[in-house]
Amino acid sequence: MRGGLWQLGQSITRRLAQGDKKAVARRYFASDAELKKTVVYDFHVANGGKMVPFAGWSMPIQYKDSIMDSTLNCRENGSLFDVSHMCGLSLKGKDSVPFLEKLVIADVAGLAPGTGSLTVFTNEKGGAIDDSVITKVKDDHIYLVVNAGCRDKDLAHIEEHMKAFKAKGGDVSWHIHDERSLLALQIFGCCVIAHSFAPTSCYLFSHDLVMVLLLLRFLQHLTKADLSKMYFGGFQVLDINGVQCFLTRTGYTGEDGFEISIPSESAVDLAKAILEKSEGKIRLTGLGARDSLRLEAGLCLYGNDLEQHITPIEAGLTWAIGKRRRAEGGFLGADVILKQLEEGPKIRRVGFFSSGPPPRSHSEIQDEGGNNIGEVTSGGFSPCLKKNIAIGYVKSGLHKAGTKVKIIIRGKSNEGVVTKMPFVPTKYYKPS
């Protein structure tokens, strides 16, 4: 028997390294010494982390809890993830907004200071170079985080365009936050608790929520900012326990929570403090569970559901193209994308439920007559729903919820049906 967690690590690493054949060849025989380590590495190992190669890093795929239990606990209580392998950077300068708008589909100018959004970097054919969470700190300062596996090509892409932009007199510069680490704290019930400071919400308390309340108070205690007024997508630079952090109210799991960018020398201390204050409710959680969570939330994994040849329209991310940008374009590949907006794309990303073995990447999708209509790009067993879920692309016209399909796994045909996403409802903290 081969596979298990080995297979997952191998599969994800290969896909993320797809754009660089040399990297694949080199990484195949990488020794431990060649994998980078986050500053939290030793803490992972001490806490039973199973470390696997991921995009050139040694990352925890799982701890003592099973992936199933970790996923469920994130939705019931909360999780703490080390996502320091992801790359954070700042763009600064009077023209940083128009510069970035050449590269991404978001309406960056329309973002209020202190807010952010998921966006896509596009290539000249409208395909996705990477997805990224961007936030406007001020009109002349953009903070963004890109995927670990895309870091090298993203930075090369940005640098190339920045040179050309500055050569024409544009005012923009950048800083890569390699001196910082990134922790993702996802907390169930945070929004309930925030509102529960009002007397009318007190009946919502329960024993488990008390623990989470203690954690929220812990965070609130460490900073003067009022976190109850910081909504999904919100961003603040603030002191936590005397250390300057970038706090973004976001995650990639469907739950409420925060991504905390903290100076690397303080990252382990903060991780320990969060875990201790939550008295075991918030659990260290690995990338295996994180992948289950984002899949249940119907979110794209770059390298699987998003690639250079897939446009945001095909991926169902039309919502991320601001209204003004749909009218004006101005980003790479705009002609392709705006045409797809007008005419409709030929393929569409959809969700599936299925019977039999869990679908995985590259499982063929057929219509009921046995004709190929697409391919699975992500799939697995949903710990929350206790059934198979998958994301894939099908021909337009066959994308409506309820459409019956066959998913081919190891040569056998299995019943499937198209469904809307998210599979598990999201719980983002938004103004009521």
Partner 1 sequence: MDAQHDHSISVEREREREREREREMACRQLWASRAASYLRISVFHRGFSNVVKDLKYADSHEWVKVDENSATVGITDHAQDHLGDVVYVELPEVGAAVTQGGSFGAVESVKATSDINSPVSGKVVEVNEALNSSPALINSSPYKDGWIIKVEISDNGELNNLMDSDQYSKFCEEEDSKH
- Coil, strand or helix at 142: strand
Among positions 254, 374, 383, 392, the unique one binding partner 1 when judged by CB under 8 A: 383
CB 39 → partner 1: shortest distance, Å? 17
Torsion of CA 262, 275, 385, 379, to 10 degrees: 40
CB 67 → partner 1: shortest distance, Å? 5
For position 28 contacting partner 1 by CB under 8 A, the verdict is yes
Binding mask 406-425 for partner 1 (x = CB under 8 A): ----x---------------
For position 24 contacting partner 1 by CB under 8 A, the verdict is no
Q: Residue 135 and residue 2: Cα distance in Å, rounded?
A: 42
Count CB-CB contacts under 10 A for residue 430.
12
CA triplet 338, 144, 314: central angle to 5 degrees? Answer: 30
- Coil, strand or helix at 57: strand
CB 76 → partner 1: shortest distance, Å? 16
Separation of first and last alpha carbons in the chain:
51
Count CB-CB contacts under 10 A for residue 382.
21
Number of residues that bind partner 1 (CB under 8 A): 44
Nearest to 246 by CA among 196, 175, 317, 189: 175
Residues 6+ apart with CB under 8 A from 141: 90, 91, 92, 96
For position 45 contacting partner 1 by CB under 8 A, the verdict is yes
Binding mask 231-270 for partner 1 (x = CB under 8 A): ----------------------------------------
For position 21 contacting partner 1 by CB under 8 A, the verdict is no
For position 4 contacting partner 1 by CB under 8 A, the verdict is yes
Q: Strand 235-240 to strand 243-248: parallel, antiparallel, or no bridges (unpaired)? A: antiparallel
Spatial contact of 282 and 77, defined as CB atoms under 8 Å apart: yes
Spatial contact of 174 and 158, defined as CB atoms under 8 Å apart: yes
Residues 66-125 that bind partner 1 (CB under 8 A): 66-68, 71
Binding mask 343-382 for partner 1 (x = CB under 8 A): -------------xxx-x-------------------xx-
Ligand-binding annotation for 259, yes or no, is yes
Q: Which is nearer to partner 1, 45 or 109 (CB)?
A: 45
**Across the strands, what pairs with 141?**
92, 138
State residue 4 phi and psi, 5-degree precision: 60, -145
CB 354 → partner 1: shortest distance, Å? 11
Give the H/E segment covering residue 163. helix 151-167
For position 201 contacting partner 1 by CB under 8 A, the verdict is no
For position 48 contacting partner 1 by CB under 8 A, the verdict is yes
CB 288 → partner 1: shortest distance, Å? 5
For position 37 contacting partner 1 by CB under 8 A, the verdict is no
The two three-digit tokens of residue 185, written as one number: 């704290």
Q: Which is nearer to partner 1, 34 or 178 (CB)?
A: 34
CB 24 → partner 1: shortest distance, Å? 11
Q: Which is nearer to partner 1, 53 or 127 (CB)?
A: 53
Q: Which is nearer to partner 1, 49 or 116 (CB)?
A: 49
CB 291 → partner 1: shortest distance, Å? 7
For position 30 contacting partner 1 by CB under 8 A, the verdict is yes
Q: Distances from the Cα of 274 to the Cαs of 74, 79, 185, 186, 259, in angstroms? A: 14, 10, 9, 11, 13
User: What angle, 0 to 180 degrees and rounded to 10, lies between the N-to-C axes of helices 287-296 and 67-76?
Assistant: 60
For position 18 contacting partner 1 by CB under 8 A, the verdict is no
CB 247 → partner 1: shortest distance, Å? 30
For position 6 contacting partner 1 by CB under 8 A, the verdict is yes
Q: Which is nearer to partner 1, 4 or 242 (CB)?
A: 4
Nearest to 235 by CA among 144, 340, 159: 144
For position 292 contacting partner 1 by CB under 8 A, the verdict is yes
User: What angle, 0 to 180 degrees and rounded to 10, lies between the N-to-C axes of helices 267-277 and 207-222?
Assistant: 150
State residue 306 phi and psi, 5-degree precision: -130, 135
Q: Please give the annotated binding residues for substrate, written as ranges.
A: 259
Which residues would be at the binding site for partner 1 (CB under 8 A)?
Answer: 1-11, 27-32, 35, 45, 48-53, 58, 62-64, 66-68, 71, 288, 291-292, 356-358, 360, 380-381, 383, 410
